[in-house]
């Protein structure tokens, strides 16, 4: 029984977790350790997995991609059922595929798509309270769209990555940054080849400042040029953020992910 390179797509409600990545022991578990535990029980052997995106505490995923190597005789179409048996209902494996050796969930990804949901009604929603940011004040959506347009392209995003986390290379390519009205929701979708720490939440926090008239749309250009994190808006809270998709075009990617 030779080891397979297994790829799983996973959806999760991040409310109860300290984020995707395994951390020092704390009050909340990580998605990674719960998944590794369930896969290990399903396969009868421990596994170590790699994920496409390190979602933060409270951030959700509609489609996270993880992979691991394991020798297993469970047919791939049955594997999600086998693993889901050992998962709590807020984490669900939605598919299983086999990848070539060179596939890596993060390094092979061409882009990731994050969606941020804002609930604009006067009062909070009992249904979307875990999955959206309640902002009841008037927001100038056209101004937000104009500001969002300045974020697209290959640029230095140092001003929109979290403060206090020095990264050598802060240049990323944002393929799209769209603001979609679906009353009472406002949805911000950002697709990029990579993200700095808290980048989407800082983009959303800054766009909301623009929507509230606290910042001109063109101010976003100046903030980017400044490379100074202190000039951007505060990061929007984690609960509105969801990893919506991971896109691959590379060799050894399983066909089901292309």
- Stretch of residues binding a copy of itself (CB under 8 A), selected from 18-26, 66-74, 87-95, 229-237: 87-95
Q: Is 121 in the site for a copy of itself (CB under 8 A)?
A: yes
Planar angle of CA 134, 237, 208, nearest 5 degrees: 60
Residue placing its CB nearer to a copy of itself in the complex, 101 or 122: 122
Least gap, CB of 170 to a copy of itself (angstroms): 32
Is-contact 57 77, C-beta < 8 A? no
- Stretch of residues binding a copy of itself (CB under 8 A), selected from 6-14, 103-111, 197-205, 211-219: 6-14
Mask 88-117, x = binds a copy of itself (CB under 8 A)? -xxxxxx-----------------------
Q: Is 44 in the site for a copy of itself (CB under 8 A)?
A: no
Residue placing its CB nearer to a copy of itself in the complex, 63 or 229: 63
- Stretch of residues binding a copy of itself (CB under 8 A), selected from 33-41, 119-127, 171-179, 210-218: 119-127
- Which tokens hold the place of 216? 């001109």
Residue placing its CB nearer to a copy of itself in the complex, 20 or 150: 20
Least gap, CB of 95 to a copy of itself (angstroms): 8
Least gap, CB of 94 to a copy of itself (angstroms): 5
Is-contact 161 167, C-beta < 8 A? yes
Q: Is 75 in the site for a copy of itself (CB under 8 A)?
A: no
| Residue 250 burial (CB count, 10 A) | 15
Q: Which of 84, 149, 170, 173 contacts a copy of itself by CB under 8 A? A: 84
Q: Is 60 in the site for a copy of itself (CB under 8 A)?
A: yes
Q: Is 120 in the site for a copy of itself (CB under 8 A)?
A: no
Residue placing its CB nearer to a copy of itself in the complex, 21 or 84: 84
Q: Which of 26, 27, 126, 164 contacts a copy of itself by CB under 8 A? A: 126
Secondary structure, 3-state, the chain: CCCEEEEEEEEECHHHCCECCCCCCCCCCCHHHHHHHHHHHHHCCCCCCEECCCCECCCEEEEEEEEEEECCCCCHHHHHHHHHCCCCCCEEEEEEEECCCCCCCCCCEEEEEEEEEEECCCCCCCCCCCCCEECCCCCCHHHHHHHHHCCCEEEECHHHCCCCCCCCCCEEEEEEEEEEEECCEEEEEEEECCCCCCHHHHHHHHHHHHHCCCCCCCHHHHHHHHCCHHHCCCCCCHHHEEEEEEEECCCCCCHHHC
User: Contact residues for a copy of itself (CB under 8 A)?
Assistant: 11-13, 60, 62, 80, 84, 89-94, 121-127, 129, 131
């Amino acid at each position: 029984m030779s080891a397979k390179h297994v790829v799983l797509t996973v959806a999760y409600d991040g409310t109860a977790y300290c984020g995707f990545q395994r951390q020092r022991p704390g009050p909340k578990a990580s998605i990674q350790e719960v998944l590794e535990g369930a896969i290990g029980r399903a396969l009868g052997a421990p596994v170590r997995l790699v994920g496409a995106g390190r979602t933060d505490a409270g951030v959700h995923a509609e489609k996270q991609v993880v992979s691991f190597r394991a020798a297993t005789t469970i047919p791939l179409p049955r594997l999600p059922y086998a693993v889901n048996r050992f998962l709590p209902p807020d984490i669900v494996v939605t598919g299983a595929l086999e990848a070539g050796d060179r596939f890596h969930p993060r390094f092979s990804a061409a882009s990731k798509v994050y969606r941020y949901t804002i609930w604009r009604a006067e009062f909070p929603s009992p249904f979307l309270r875990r999955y959206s940011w309640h902002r009841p004040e008037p927001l100038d959506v056209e101004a937000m769209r104009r500001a969002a347009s300045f974020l697209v392209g290959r640029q230095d995003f140092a001003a929109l990555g979290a403060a206090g986390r020095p990264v050598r290379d802060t240049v990323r390519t944002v393929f799209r940054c769209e603001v979609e009205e679906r009353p009472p929701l406002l949805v911000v979708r950002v697709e990029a080849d990579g993200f700095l720490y808290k980048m989407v939440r800082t983009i959303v926090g800054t766009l909301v400042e623009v929507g509230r008239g606290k910042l001109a749309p063109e101010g976003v250009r100046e903030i980017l040029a400044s490379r100074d994190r202190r000039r951007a808006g505060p990061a929007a809270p984690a609960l509105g953020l969801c990893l919506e998709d991971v896109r691959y075009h590379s060799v050894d990617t399983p066909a089901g992910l292309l």
